[in-house]
Structure 1
């Protein structure tokens, strides 16, 4: 351990400075000689948005310059999602440089709306002119063409959700603390646990502004992280990495749970619950998330009573593939298998320390999300061991979640030009 500490100190420029930890490495500490008790109370208001253009695959008519097997992506919709919430957090020092924390978000409104892009209307959109049907009686396990248009969903469309979010519990330890030893950085190791306490989100339910449905995904989330910060003069650079492991909890959702709500919602609802297609297979498959954050805090004003800090950071995250609630779930009323993507962007923050007890922090963030598929269920799996997925000879091999209208190649939907924005203001009481 002494050798590891020496290496970290060398890499972080072990020069002596009197320091307090950056916001990203803040840890409540108690039972110290000069601080018998430490606690932080945070109350924040957060508003975030996601904007994305929804594209759809098409197979154009073959020409001399455009082969017919070359797929094109055609713009269909604009998606806008809004999330407004209150965040309440409590962090208590349970020993020197060890913190136990609790958090609870109150989601005031989580609204979504979908509208046509310019040039797209109900008369020429593939969404409203759709005639493909799932699992027709004349051909089990196969699609057919309806005699008249059967829209996938109505456009424009809005959804409304809200309520208590998932509770969070955290444990963090400052293995090194520059406040106690000026020759070393502040190095924090932590584990955050998000419990599935919010009521289950059922995407098949219709919502209204006066009848909001819950927001819970019923998934345990374990986030491991480590962060380093080092105060050098008026600057305090920092670095953080994190990884979130999701585990399905009690009462998680499966599209098969609501197969009778919308007859065309699943490709073959008869397969729900049979061998090979139990709830673990057809239910939510939450994404794993890993990310890196680096930046610096700059001390703009530092007086005995007042402090102003600027925070500049860059962020990048990887979101794995999975079946979960995405930009089209509210419209198609089910969880959708979503492709993996990267997020990258930045954040600017300003902290005003008004006294030894009270500080206020505001920040703005923007993330760009790389293009990714929104409807990508696999058609099925080999159940009889013959080496192929033969849904004609064995309809039981067809994935009940698979939808010929949206998951079949040349009919899939994609998210493009997707961006996340977030503004938040947090008041902190320090003891």
Structure 2
């Protein structure tokens, strides 16, 4: 799987010690007595698919509270080519570089049931009178359904540094213990969700979020007979980079798309406040490789792992952003699942690997902007007498309680085929 996606907890690093360390703790090493130079080149193709049922809350009609109505099926596909290079710069110390090329990232929205859809029959309007909501004289759809967007291009570059504190190959009384830091740079062209795209659109190659991401991790493994159990823990901190996106930057600003666009840029609602707020992510991976075939020149491993990730709340591109054409404040959620992989050591240079991964994403809100903040310290957010307190990102049509959208039954499925060349 991609070594560039921190939200997935199966990131691995290549190294020459294939026989005595699980993939998750491999580190390229140089200046060894028997190997003066170590390097890995990893090339792989993968496709990730996300399928989510999007529901919408409605006013409670029973003592049990809120009801949720089926709204949309979301289907996203992300096929890509991954290239990773790892070079040993010292004994048990590795410097790595990686970049993905996204072929065509496809997103599709279709009705679960289009009868009496609140998406098409929306009668709530933003900015009808001095920024306040109103009831429209006729229905105005939030967006058209079915809908499809296409994007693709070169993704963010990744740079990494890893150190094997313990190396079982050199001291079999100790496990492999690796610590590292990965840095994902905001090198991809900035994605503007307000502009619809297809394969011919000018900005269809823009897929970047313009966010620095720093991933700290540690991993351990120990070969015991035919098994090589391992454990990995990671945490990613996002930091907004230059030229980050804000909904107030929309090229074709639709006054219906923001609750109070007049507040964009004023002191309390500057770009840092209204812009992207990428989520923090963290996770645990544990599993084991099993040597199922072991001959001097041919080796085969079966890799079974369990994955748990946490994704914090934030304002970023989610399953509804391409339809509503803006970044959306998203609730936090967990990912739980597993991966099955098969790895074959063909010769001293070439190792092949194939894997399949399934993750279940817990239910979470997709449109949850706060209506504003108490600027004058009166104790409440007063949207009538002090409209400067209204969050310009807040959308009366989708962020009010009883109108919000939620992701449910969400699953990620990923297939990967890769080749590792060891030198």
User: Superposed, which structure 2 residues align to 1:371-382 within 5 Å?
Assistant: 371-382=363-374
In structure 2, the partner of 1:56 is 56
Q: Is the 8 A contact 1:141 1:392 kept in 2?
A: no
- SS of 2:267's equivalent in the other structure is coil
Q: Secondary structure of the equivalent of 1:264?
A: helix
How far apart are residue 260 of structure 1 and its match? Answer: 4.2
Contact preservation (8 Å) 1:268, 1:400:
yes
**TM-score, scaled to structure 2:** 0.94
Task: Give how far 1:208 is off.
Answer: 1.1
2:378 aligned to which of 372, 378, 386: 386
How far, CA to CA, are the matches of 2:131 and 2:190 in structure 1? Answer: 30
Larger of the two Rg values belongs to structure? 1
Secondary structure of the 1:396 match is helix
Describe the superposition over 1:4-60 as per-residue Cα deviations: whole angstroms up to 9, x where unpaired: xxxxxxxxxxxxxx9511100010000011110000000000100000000001115
In structure 2, what is the Cα distance between the partners aligned to 1:270 and 1:27? Answer: 53
**Which blocks of at least 5 consecutive residues in structure 2 are unaligned?**
1-17
Query: Are the aligned partners of 2:321 and 2:328 in contact in 1 as well (CA < 8 Å)?
Result: yes
Displacement after TM superposition at 1:135 (Å): 2.2
Q: 2:69 aligns with which of 64, 71, 74?
A: 74
2:195·2:251 contact (CA, 8 Å) conserved in 1?
no
SS at the partner of 1:270?
helix
* Residue 334 of structure 1, aligned match among 314, 326, 341: 326
Which residue is 1:176 aligned to?
A: 166
The answer to whether the 8 Å contact 2:54/2:407 transfers is yes
CA distance in 2 between partners of 1:20 and 1:195 (Å): 32
What residue in structure 2 maps to residue 114 of structure 1?
A: 109
Note if 1:353 corresponds to 2:345: yes
Partner residue, 1:227: 219
SS, match of residue 272 in structure 2: helix
Hey, what's the Cα distance between the residues in 1 that align with 2:205 and 2:116? 32
> Which runs of at least 4 in structure 1 moved beyond 3 Å after TM superposition?
none
Give the number of equivalent residue pairs: 404
1:281 is paired with a residue whose SS is: helix
Question: Do the aligned partners of 1:187 and 1:227 also contact (CA within 8 Å) in 2?
Answer: yes
Q: What do the CA deviations read for 1:132-169 (whole angstroms, capped 9, x no partner)? A: 001222xx342100000000000000011100000000
Q: Residue 213 of structure 1: CA displacement? A: 4.0
Instruction: Find the aligned partners of 2:231 and 2:105 in 1 and give their Cα distance.
Output: 31
RMSD, aligned α-carbons: 1.2
* 2-structure distance, mates of 1:331, 1:32: 54
Which deviates more from structure 2 when the two are superposed, residues 211-220 or residues 284-293?
211-220
Give the C-alpha shift of residue 71 in structure 1.
1.7
CA deviations on 1:107-145 (whole Å, 9 max, x unpaired) are 11111000001xx22x510000001001222xx342100
What is the TM-score of this pair, normalised by structure 1? 0.92
Report if the CA contact (8 A) 2:154-2:205 is conserved: no
Partner SS for 2:196: coil
Shift of 1:387: 1.4
Would you say the 8 A contact 1:116–1:155 is kept in 2?
Answer: yes
Provide the secondary structure at the position in 2 that maps to 1:276. Answer: helix
Which structure carries more strand by proportion? 2
Kindly indicate whether the alpha-carbon contact (under 8 Å) linking 1:141 and 1:268 is maintained by their aligned counterparts in 2: yes
- SS of the equivalent of 2:411 reads strand
Contact residue 285 and residue 307 of structure 2 kept, 8 A: yes
SS in 2 for 1:135: strand
Q: Which runs of 5+ in 1 are unaligned?
A: 1-17
2:80 to 67, 82, 85: 85
Secondary structure of 1:134's counterpart equals strand
Q: Please, which of 148, 166, 169 is the counterpart of residue 156 of structure 2? A: 166
